[in-house]
Amino acid sequence: MMRATRLPALLWLMVLTACLAFSSVQLLRGASLDTRITALLPETHQSPGVDRANDQLSAPFTHRFVLLLEAEQPNEASGALAQTLEDADVVSELRYRPGDYQLDNLLEVLGPSRYRLLGENLRATIDSGDTDDLRRQALASLIMPTGLDQHPVRDPFGLLDRWLDSQLSTRFDTRGDLVTLEVDGRSLVVMTATLSGNAWDTGLQDRLTDAINDFQGAHPDAQLWRSGMVFHAADGAHQAKSEISTIGLGSLIGVLLILLVVFRSPVTIATLLLPLVAGGVFALAITLWWFQGIHLLTIAFGSSLIGVAIDYALHLQCARTLAGREFRLRRMLPGLALGLVTSVMAYVVQAFTPMPGLRQMAIFAGCGLVGAWLTVVLWLPLTRVHTTPGTRALAERLWGVLDRLRGRLGPRLALVLALVAISIAGVRLQGDDSLRLINTSSQQLLGDEALVQRELGRDTGTVYLLVMAHDTEGFLGRVESLNPLLESLMQEGHLGGYTSLAERVPSRSRQSTNLERTRTLYQQQLDQVYASAGLPPALYERALEALEQSPPLTLDHWLASPLGESDQRLWLGEIDRGQVGGMITLNGGIDDRARQQLASLARSDENIELVDRVEQISAVLGELRRQIAQWVAGALVALTLLLALRYRWRTWRVIAPAGGAILTVLTLYALLGVPLNLFHQLALLLVLGIGLDAGIFMQEHPRAHHAWLAITLSIISSLLAFGLLAFSATPVLHHIGMTTLIGLASVWLLTALVQHRLPPDQTTPHDNAHDHG
């Protein structure tokens, strides 16, 4: 018999070993660990161009950072900071002096095409025919040249300098030894750096943070403003480490102490945690096999839902501890099986949603629960447990508390309270899908970021237009056709600004018309310029020859130049269906009027798409929230019908702890004006699972002390593991913790209140009988 019992356990060990090996191989081979929030969207909403655009626009912000430095001795301070960063091995390139910007080949790249590159103002001046001012400026420059290449034949009107002036920010001062920017009357050194590694590398984050702290410690008079993903990642990591060392460590110690007090055996405690580990291994392998990768949100929230499985281990071990040799597993199996089926149904039903993220979380959580359950049933009975008088005494005291509470909430009162709660939540409860929910950056860092982006005109491409065409020329032409609308929105104050490749590289047709305008200018004024400057008339023919030999500027040449390096993020090149594409970033604020007009434009032209990355993420969060609510509500109805087949009129006692706790949370949030978000609802899934288990086990073993002991331990351990997160400063963790705290406390209380009263002689410490009395 023992050999027959051990055989399934051995087979399960072999399955888990295979799962562990498979997952290890997949991860070592580079299995996809997805972090993109857009990957949670339905496939029908995905756009390969948008995904690439998002990644490309984020890349400079991810791989680089900017520092603005103010100091009494800027030369000394900037040099010291540069040396500190280089010594810390956190930067591969650092620019803060004019010489750090290699502009030597600008003349080579732009010089031959200068006659085709005219800004809007210069075009308008030539078209007006009033070009006398241009003649006078050219004459002055010929007498005293100040331009980059203002040669009397190659560029008598300084067209190259005029074009560069329209492309370069005039706010940067490069006349001294440093690149500086004036902000509110203060001169700040602008330092831009490229990271030597990954912004998410905690080692690099620590070295960078230490380097900056060391510098500030040595230069207390200096002030720094920071911009870059690496600083936000470091801020979040620092906060997470701090809270793990306080809240996380505190909750872990609390759970272990409580379990040690109850079971008095480290081995028994290990058996309680073993199913969670086994469930995680099984879930990871199945998810990697099914989806060929896994999203980090799946690991985070799926692991939390698998935590429900500690219920199974607690119920089994509590029953074994109190029953001793009288324990029989077969008497526990109906309750354990129903607990598994209800929790798996509540979670796996979300696999039928159109949201890939929810489907993956559902499969991970469902498989994890199955893996944990099999571990409990197959392995734990083979382990030894210690029967102690202290455990029995604690169970009896808790049973006394239950006796004082039971029977105080009948079905009629429960129904009335449920209807009132549903009415309040339905009328007053609001939703919140703001991106602030997943923000972990400090207010100081957010302030630094806003200042740097505002003063440098530096954006992360949060809102942009994705423009597609059949070829590069068609793309540039289409972008140019959007300029009048964008300029109009700017002039009316609806749009702060925009950046497009067509500003840098005009289309060929526009370059051709620009060349005609330059030819007109030469014909109108050049001979007079030469005559006034006392230059020989023969230069006129040579100047016209240079004009005729001017090649058009191509996008490839521009992006390959130092000045065009920052524009590389705006060009995707070839994308889906043989098309090319690029982005127009919308900067400096965009109001509802601008959004409406641009959205209308995008709807009328399939080659243009308006993308708001913040709204896109909010839409994902909102859709996840709605899908969870709808499918879990449907699952609860189905579970109620299923449970009614076994429990008949007592079904309400099974559903009341979970359903009542959820309604309690929603009603409190509605009354307090707390908007519901995705992370509240993910925490409610945990409440749902533990609540269903509590209701089932109290009906399966209504006279057994071990059932109430296990329920109490499950809720206390979950409150310590999750409820303490209510004190977290991280918004996501705070929402999960607060919901868990209220919800699980309600589960415990409601489980006791809805139980029917028992005569004193019908309770036993270790009743394992299948009794529905």
Distance CA 194, CA 78 (A): 16
The pLDDT, as a whole number, for residue 762 is 55
> Nearest CA to 715 among 681, 682, 750, 675?
750
Calculate the alpha carbon distances from 91 to 101, 205, 222, 230 in Å: 16, 11, 21, 12
Do 697 and 710 meet the contact criterion of CB atoms below 8 Å apart? yes
DSSP string across 554-577:
PHHHHHHSTTTGGGGGGEEEE-GG
pLDDT single digits (tens) 251-310: 778 888 888 888 888 888 888 889 989 999 999 999 999 988 888 777 766 767 676 778
C-alpha angle 183/189/192, rounded to 5°? 115
Do 740 and 687 meet the contact criterion of CB atoms below 8 Å apart? yes
> Which residues lie closer than 8 Å to 770 by C-beta, 6 or more apart?
331, 334, 700
User: Going by DSSP bridges, is the β-strand pair 32-34/293-295 parallel, antiparallel, or unpaired?
Assistant: parallel
Q: What are phi and psi of 573, to 5 degrees?
A: 75, -145
Do 555 and 505 meet the contact criterion of CB atoms below 8 Å apart? yes
> Nearest CA to 380 among 303, 270, 261?
270
Question: What are the residue ranges in the chain where pLDDT is below 70?
Answer: 1-5, 32-47, 102-105, 147, 168-171, 240, 244-245, 248, 300-301, 303, 305, 307, 437, 457-460, 759-773
Q: For residue 773, with 0-12 CB atoms within 10 Å meaning exposed, 13-18 middle and 19 or more buried, which class applies? A: exposed
Identity of the residue numbered 397: R
* Angle, in degrees to the nearest 10, between helices 356-378 and 296-306: 40
Do 539 and 599 meet the contact criterion of CB atoms below 8 Å apart? no
DSSP letter assigned to residue 168: S
Do 709 and 390 meet the contact criterion of CB atoms below 8 Å apart? no
SS3 of residue 143 by DSSP? helix
What global pTM score does this model have?
A: 0.77
The pLDDT, as a whole number, for residue 1 is 40
H/E segment holding residue 293: strand 293-295
> Nearest CA to 313 among 399, 383, 375, 389?
375
The pLDDT, as a whole number, for residue 773 is 37
Do 343 and 697 meet the contact criterion of CB atoms below 8 Å apart? no
H helix intervals, 29-111? 48-63, 74-87, 106-110
Distance CA 437, CA 37 (A): 13
Do 95 and 179 meet the contact criterion of CB atoms below 8 Å apart? yes
Cβ neighbours around 353 below 10 Å, total:
20
The pLDDT, as a whole number, for residue 621 is 79
Distance CA 202, CA 237 (A): 8
C-alpha angle 199/728/238, rounded to 5°? 25
Do 544 and 522 meet the contact criterion of CB atoms below 8 Å apart? yes
> Nearest CA to 484 among 495, 473, 474, 470?
495
The pLDDT, as a whole number, for residue 676 is 92
pLDDT single digits (tens) 314-364: 889 898 888 877 888 888 898 899 889 888 887 887 787 777 777 888 899
